[in-house]
Amino acid sequence: VQLVESGGGLVQAGGSLRLSCAAYGSMFSIVAMGWYRRAPGKQRELVAHITYGGGSTNYADSVKGRFTISRDNAKNTMYLQMNSLKPVDTAVYYCNADAFDLVTDTVNDYWGRGTQVTVSS
């Protein structure tokens, strides 16, 4: 499974960005997906997570009310709508997916290469 992120960029504080993550491959079924971020000098942290079956979501406290995670099952694509962005949101954002391999009957963990989000003050 290959995860491809898009939508990062430079935005002023208070602005919005929408990240996308598309999963490519064959013989797999997405179980859940999530967005993580790593700010300079900090550890990677979970931003938001969504299950594909029921669509259950959870968010880091720091982004609740500002970010919205969603998914399009038919397209194997996940989105992160980020509103009211703050300079502290500046980070590399990574897409993560847990996918069931239909050949080996195992659930595997996959990561995208990351997309830079920079919020200027």
* pLDDT value, residue 16: 98
Mean pLDDT in residue range 12-18: 98
Contact 92, 108 (CB under 8 A): no
Q: What is the mean pLDDT of residues 43-63?
A: 94
**pLDDT on residue 51:** 92
pLDDT at 95 over 90: yes
Q: What percent of the chain clears pLDDT 70, i.e. is strictly above it?
A: 100
